[in-house]
Structures are given as C-alpha cells and as structure tokens.
Amino acid sequence: MSDKLDLLDITNTSPPPCDITVCSATLEHLQFLQPGLDNMLLSTDKLILLRSFLGESQLKSIHIKKGAMAHYDIHQFSFHEVFSLFKRNGFSPKIIRDQYTDSMPWYLDDGIIRTFYVVMGVRI
C-alpha cells in the first residue's frame, strides 16, 4: 500500500492503475462527464464504485453556500450516459441504493431535486 497521496485533475490526467476505484460525491462537480469518468474507468482493473447524482436526464445547477466567496456547479448525469461509458470501457454496471441517503430525493436551494445513487461496475 502506498504511503503517499497524489493530487491530480481527473479530467486531464489518468490516475495510476489500481484494482478498485471509489468515487463518492465528486463526479457531479465536474464540468463534463468525459473525460473524467473515462480516465477513472481506464485506470481501474477490477471494480469501481461511483456515488453521484443520477437521474433520467442530465441537469445542471449553480450552487452557492451562505457566506461562500464563489459558486460551484452541481451536475446530474443520466443513467444512460454513465452506463454507456461503463460498458464502453469494459464494465458491467449495476445500480445500488445509496445507504447514506437511502436514495431519497435531495431538494437543493435552487429548486432542483437530486438523488444519490451508487453504480457498481465490475470489469468483464
């Protein structure tokens, strides 16, 4: 096991090869699904667990917390988009209910409703 932490921009750099990738509550802050998810999938040998806002369609909102100096984007990617990338990169995807939120809708201040899901992908 490595004793160091590497900081990288997943949209510009592929992480080092690994057996398992866990990405929780991060993907929704990327501007675009690709190439970030592709880079994660390409570097993963066996299993990926992806926890993010997913739904029937792609949505985008801009969020600002009270007292924050700047806004940040929150995206919802579609099941179809995510599943297509998983399959194209050699993974069999499966939806798992998010235990932390029970995959219940989350109502954001801007009126958009989001739901966290976990996608488990096993390399085939």
Return the CATH superfamily for domain 18-123: Vaccinia Virus protein VP39 (3.40.50.150)
What pLDDT shows up at residue 63?
Answer: 65
Per-residue pLDDT at 88 exceeds 70: yes
Tens digits of residue pLDDT in 22-67: 999 988 888 889 999 999 999 999 999 999 989 888 887 766 667 7
**pTM of the predicted model as reported, rounded to 2 decimal places:** 0.84
What are the Cα distances from residue 117, in Å, to 3, 4, 33, 99?
30, 29, 16, 9
- Residue 85 CA to residue 6 CA, distance in Å, equals 25
What does the domain layout of the chain look like in residue ranges?
18-123
